[in-house]
Every structure is written in C-alpha cells, then in structure tokens.
Chains A and B, each alone.
Chain A
Amino acid sequence: MAKVVLENVFKIYPGDVTAVHDACLEIQDQEFVVLVGPSGCGKSTTLRMVAGLEDISRGSIFIDGKKVNDIPPKDRDIAMVFQNYALYPHMSVYNNMAFGLKLRKYPKAEIHKRVMEAAEILGIVDYLERKPKALSGGQRQRVAVGRAIVRKPKAFLFDEPLSNLDAKMRVQMRAEISKLHNRLKSTMIYVTHDQIEAMTMGDRIVVMKDGWIQQVDTPLNIYNQPANQFVAGFIGSPPMNFFKGRIVREGNAVFFDEGQFRLAVPEPAAGKLAPHAGQDVALGIRPEHVHERGERPEADPARVVPATVEVVEMMGSEVYLYASTGRSNFTARVQAACRRQIGDAVEVVLDMERAHFFGGADEKALL
C-alpha cells in the first residue's frame, strides 16, 4: 500500500548506454500501472530500479514517501514476479512461498496462515507439497504470484509474468491478476510488451521507447489521444494507419494532400492545422475509422480514397482489408458482409473527425 514516485531517474550502464532517460512518474497508492513498449525500451530496467536490483544512476525513487536509492531490495518491502517464474527448484510449492517469510523470521503459525490464504486465492492448495518441476506453466506462475502475495508488500512488481504462457492461459491469468488487484488493493507496477495486456489491465499506461517515457495516461486516453506517432502506432491492433502528406490551405479550407488524393480536414482540426500549412505531416487513422464506400453512400467525396485490395482477412465478426493507394498501405476494419477479393479496386471513406495528425521532428500530435 504505497505511492511510488520516480523523479528524473536515469539509468546509465557501463559503456555509456543510457537505458532510461529522465523518467518522471507518480504512481498512486493502489494504482495498477503498466509499463509498455517494444523490446529494449527500458521497461525492465525501470522496474528493476524500483525493486533495487539495479542502481539508480541519477534521480530518485520514493516508495511510500521514503527515498529508496540506497535501500537494499529486501528493505524496500516490495515483491517481484519474474518472467521465468524463478521458483526455487528444490523447494516445494509451500516452501517457495514461505521462504521470504522465514527469512523475515515470521512465526510459524503466521507463515502457515499466509501461505494457505494465498494458496486459497490462487487455487493451488492441492499442489503445496509438489516441486515446481511437477507443475504446468500456469500453475508455476500462480506459485510465483503466491510468493509475492504472502509477503503483503507495499508494492508488487511484475516483469512480463505472462509471456511464457500459451495464449489461452495468458488471457485467463490476465483476468486473474486484475481480480487480484481489486482484491488486494495494492500498488502494482506491471511490465509488458503486449499492448493488449496494457490496455486491459492498467489503470494507467506508461508507454516507453528508447528509454524515454512517451506518454502516461489512462488506456482510453492513450488510445484516443496518443501524444505522438509512436504511441499511436504502438497501441491498438491492428495498428493505426499512417499516410504521409502535406497540409495545404486554400482560403479558409484546409486539406491533407497525399499526392494521389486530397482530403478535406473538418473543423475544429482545420483551425489547429492551418498554421502548419506547407508542412509535411502524417495523417493517422485507426482501421475502424476507415469504411468501404458502400457503408457510407452519402460520404463527402473529399474524404474518399481510391485503393487496391491486397489481402483480405476474415475474422468472422468483421473483415480486415489490407489495401494500398500506390504510395501507402493501410488497413480497414469493415463489415463481415464484405466480399472483396484480392486485386479489387475499392473506394474507402475516412472518418476525418477521428483523424490524427503528427508532425515535426518528434512526430508530436498536432491537434
């Protein structure tokens, strides 16, 4: 139960590798925060600095108001769940969970009570006497979570705990960890490279890239108002489409000119984009905001894009059309009734109200 605060935290590895740049983050008590980003972006490093497994090169980390830079992991009162479970192979499930409590010299009865309680919550009561060897991946990860729970720590740290599980198990454990969070009401920091896990589990999401925090916000805000093109492309599946082009102003009207087609930008975006006239930008639009012309018969011709179908993916409830305008490729999520074939010429309508524009050296959102 604690607030975790990162203040201008840097991690510089020997050889001048800066894995984390100037991270500032305030995680509230009882909050579930997910760090997400592509491989090598510094998520684990950030988490490990909170755990105390890595030194903090610069800046400070506070847990529950106390600066922990120089406090060893065992005195930070945190628990961590590792990607590889990291169970002690020679100990029974019971002893795996009890180990940390024994080291902290808890009375036997208290240890027993806590282990049984955790085992109950996680549904592993039947395996307490087994060795990790005799457990499935999902059961092992439960034990690893149990080992964290029994300690009743101030904060839980998870480093990609589900990535060794198969898809079905992952979905199940995802829900269980969320439930656990509701039940325990403790601070949790969760690292993943899976944006679906991030979207479904986090109260807030921290998107990282190359050691820099890109955006910190609720899942919906991140989805609807990505701060830059990287976040826009990283969160969402299938990912957001991007068209490269230029802002053109004609009188009061503002257009996005791709070269082969031109799209009218509606208000209020037009007003905000007007000052960027002549600038190269990227138009971003999510696949669900791209429709077949047939679905929007009355659409304004100034938001229609001609394209050629390249791949058709039937998802059952809907169809993903992968198409090309000749210069850019994009994806449209269209109705299941769609019977397009590869090579068909189609016209798609863009929901320009939902379009994002990114520009400048840092590809920031312009709206």
Chain B
Amino acid sequence: MKRALGWLAAGAIALGFLLPLLWMLHASFRPEAEVFTGGFRGLFSFRGLGLDNYAAAWRRAALGIGLLNSILQVAGILGLGLLFNSMAAFALARFEFAGRRLLFGLVLVLIILPVEVLAVPLLLTVRDLGLTGGYGRTLAALVLPFAVKAFNVYFLRQHFLALPRDLEEAAVVDGAGPFRIYWSVALPAIRPALATVLVLDVLTHWSDFIWPLIVCTRAETRTVQLALANLFTQPPIQWGDILACAVLVTLPVLLVFRLAQRHVVASDLGAGIK
C-alpha cells in the first residue's frame, strides 16, 4: 500500500516534469493556428496533426547547416578535450615535476571562473589569433577555447589517482613506457569517467549560446541554438515552427544520452585488481 502510494507520487512528479515537454512535442505537430488552443487539454486534440512545421522550421532556420555546425563544434571539443584533458590529468596525477602543485592549484582556480567572465578576454584572444571571419576559422574559435576544461582535468585526475599503482607497475614490468601506460592501461581503466565527461560536455556545448553568438558572425556558421533563436526574431513569428525546431534541436542530445548511459556505470576495474 505504502509502496503503491510511493509509485503514485513518483509518477505524478515525473508527469509534472514531462508535461511541458509532451506539450511541446504535441504542439509541434499541430497547425499554427491551433498551437495554443485548449491549453494542456489541447494535448488530447489530434486534429490536423502533421509535419508541416518541421518542414518549415528546417527550411527557415537552415537547420541542416546548423546541425552540421553544432556537430562539428561538439565533436571537436570532445575529441581534442578527451586527449588534452586526460593527458594533463594523467601528468598531474602521476608524474613528479617541479611546480606540479602550483599548476594543479591554478586548474582548481579555473574551475570557479564562469564563461561569462572569460568571454571578453577570450574574444580578444580569438581575434588576435585571427580566428574570425571564415568558416574554418569560426569553427576553430568555437572549439579551441573549450577543448581544455579545468573541471575535466580535475575530474579525470581524481580517477587516475584512484587507479591502483599495481596496475601501472605491472605495465612497467611488462615493458610499457609512460605514454603506453597512459594510453593502453590507465585511459581504458577510467572509461566510465571518460563517458561521464563526454556526456556532460555534449550537454553543455550543444546548448552553448553566448559564445557562438559572439563568434558566429555569418549565417552559414550558425549553430543550432543560434538557428533556433533566429526563429524568434525573424518575422513572421511562427510558434509551430519554433516548437518543431526545438524538438529537432533536443533530439540529438537525448540520443547521445541514451547511447552513453550504458557506459556511465561503475567501472570493471575491481576485476583486474583482486
């Protein structure tokens, strides 16, 4: 009985959170004139549902190129980030060198600085590097400032630190050098942590808005969020299109989350050790 009540409560809360999303999904299929009719009760109206909004949104927001840009941006950040952050983390966790503590301290300081504070200095840097204007340059400007992330370095370092020394010493005796140990032993051993970092990065950068707004000066360099925002400012304002666009922009994130979920689980490290 208590159990059933618990389920009921949980279900109600989940529904509460889902309702706006469901409404968005449903309304995105409705004719423009009916988007707002009936409030939440409109959810039960199935008259005239169709894909018109999607076709219009795709065309008007230039979503094809927007999705491509966002995918390139996020993939670039993930790829470079994975390499650089994990290498920095491994060095901070395992190598003895002068200034290591200081360096790590600086990394910690960077974690608390919000992007907004950094935006202007970053922009100046990007401009001075000549990363403005062209398509490739803009892409570089989207990716480079975020490829290395203090939090990821910190997070991965903690996971490297938690690796048993034995594992690395076994590799040393087996004949592995530092890079081989990093690449073939330590990195695979913290796969769950890597998956976590990847998912968080996808979520963060897929919804990047301020920075792309600053650096994406041309229409063909716009990311999805800019494309979506553009629909709000580009008359005529069509709510159906906006909702359809929002759905399309949200889908890839859900997909990534679903795919990565499996990997973001307790590691199988315990098995090699003991």
Q: Which of B44-52, B152-160, B165-173, B244-252 has 4 or more CB atoms under 8 Å from chain A?
A: B165-173
Q: Is A214 in contact with chain B by the CB < 8 A criterion?
A: no
Contact pattern, B 226-252, Cβ under 8 Å of A = 1, otherwise 0: 000000000000000000000000000
Q: Hey, which chain A residues are within 8 Å of B5, CB to CB?
A: none
Confirm or deny: B272 has a beta carbon within 8 angstroms of a beta carbon on chain A.
yes
Using known A-B contacts A84-B164, A86-B164, A88-B167, determine if residue A132 contacts B173 with beta carbons closer than 8 Å.
Answer: no
Given contacts A131-B271, A137-B274, is CB(A90)–CB(B191) below 8 Å? yes
Contact between A89 and B273, CB atoms less than 8 A apart = yes
B169 touches A88 (CB 8 A): no
Q: Does B269 contact A (CB under 8 A)?
A: yes
Q: Is B174 an interface residue (CB 8 A)?
A: yes
Question: B176 in the interface, Cβ–Cβ < 8 Å?
Answer: yes
Cα distance, A131 to B184, chains bound together (Å): 15
Contact A90 B268 (CB under 8 A): yes
Q: Are A51 and B173 in contact (CB under 8 A)?
A: yes
How far, in Å, is A212 (CB) from chain B's closest CB? 25
Chain A interface bracket (under 10, 10 to 19, 20 to 34, 35 or more): 20 to 34
Contact A85 B273, beta carbon cutoff 8 Å: yes
Residues of chain A contacted by B253 (CB below 8 angstroms): none
Question: Which residue of B172, B173, B271 is within 8 Å of A89 (Cβ)?
Answer: B271
Cβ-defined contact, B167 with A86, below 8 A? yes
- B185 at interface, CB cutoff 8 A: yes
| Interface footprint category on B | 20 to 34
Binary CB contact string for chain A from 153 to 175 against chain B (1 if under 8 A, 0 otherwise): 00000000000100000000000
Residues of B within 8 A of A87 (CB): 170, 271-273
Contacts of A133 in B (CB 8 A): 268, 270-272
B202: A residues at CB distance < 8 A: none
| Assembly CA distance A89 to B187 (angstroms) | 11
Counting CB contacts under 8 A, is A9 at the interface? no
The verdict on B267 contacting chain A, using a C-beta distance below 8 Å, is yes
Q: Does A86 contact B172, Cβ atoms closer than 8 Å?
A: no
- How many whole Å from B69's CB to the nearest CB in chain A? 34
Which residues in B have their C-beta under 8 angstroms from that of A79? 173
Q: A61-85 CB contact bits vs B (8 Å, 1 = yes)?
A: 0000000000001100011101111
Name the B residues within 8 Å of A359 (CB-CB). none
Interface pairs (30), CB distance under 8 Å: A73-B172, A73-B173, A74-B173, A80-B169, A84-B164, A84-B273, A86-B164, A86-B167, A87-B271, A87-B272, A87-B273, A88-B188, A89-B188, A89-B273, A90-B189, A99-B171, A99-B174, A99-B184, A100-B175, A103-B174, A103-B176, A103-B180, A131-B268, A132-B271, A132-B272, A133-B268, A133-B270, A133-B271, A134-B271, A140-B271
Known: A82-B166, A103-B175, A134-B271. 14 other contacts (CB 8 A): A74-B172, A80-B169, A82-B170, A83-B166, A84-B274, A87-B272, A88-B189, A90-B188, A90-B268, A100-B174, A103-B174, A131-B268, A133-B268, A133-B272
